[in-house]
Amino acid sequence: MGVSKSQQAAVNRYIKKNYDRLNLTIAKGTKTALETVAAQNGISVNEYVRQALKAKYKADTGKDIEL
């Protein structure tokens, strides 16, 4: 069973209030490579990128960041 329009609207309002969006442009073919390695690790591409960003941020600043 699908999600009702009012439920989806509520989710969208929650996301807009609590999260920032980041638009990422990458070279052709990179998305497929990321999808493959993420799937091999049992996670989504979004989670794979979040983990990479967190690791890089900590390496650069010595601090943790919540994404």
Q: Which domain holds residue 57?
A: 22-67
Q: Report how far residue 52's alpha carbon sits from residue 23's, in angstroms, rounded to the nearest whole number.
A: 16
Q: How confident is the model at residue 64 (pLDDT cuts 50, 70, 90)?
A: very high
Query: What single letter denotes the amino acid at residue 45?
Result: V
Domain assignment present for residue 13? The answer is no
Number of domains in the chain: 1
The 10s digit of each residue's pLDDT in 6-17 is 999 999 999 999
Is the pLDDT assigned to residue 45 strictly greater than 90? yes
Q: How far is CA 4 from the centre of its chain?
A: 24
What does the buried/exposed string (b/e) look like for 38-48 if buried means 16 or more CB atoms within 10 Å of the residue's CB?
beeeeeeeeeb
Domain assignment present for residue 8? The answer is no
Domain assignment present for residue 38? The answer is yes
Are 13 and 20 a contacting pair, CB within 8 Å?
no
Domain assignment present for residue 4? The answer is no
> If you average pLDDT over every residue of the chain, what do you get?
95
